[in-house]
Amino acid sequence: MSQTVERGFTVRSELGLHARPAGEFVVMASRFESEISVGNGREWVDGRSVLSLLSLAAGRGVELWIRATGADAEEAIAALGALIERSHAKIERSAAG
């Protein structure tokens, strides 16, 4: 059964949704059967395109909306939303240190 789920998530990373987390998002989005779109209130982009995600210029504190349509939409939204709300800066510092 196909369903559409849409939820907003706040970017928590000090660096915003920069290249590394955008790449992680695309890799994760590609694992789901559902169609994935991401919006910032003004425009929607393909959730499987790093360049499209970067074009949203989502800095820290920006609310991004994720829309998933498909059989695994709920699972996709939960996983991708958790990725957006994760603080990547902390992860990068711990990996470097």
Q: Is 88 a catalytic residue?
A: no
Rounded CA separation 67/77 (Å): 7
Assess contact for 77 and 7: CB atoms under 8 A: yes
Catalytic residue among 12, 14, 15, 18: 18
36: amino acid identity, one letter:
I
Q: Which two tokens stand for residue 67?
A: 């829309």
Catalytic positions are 18
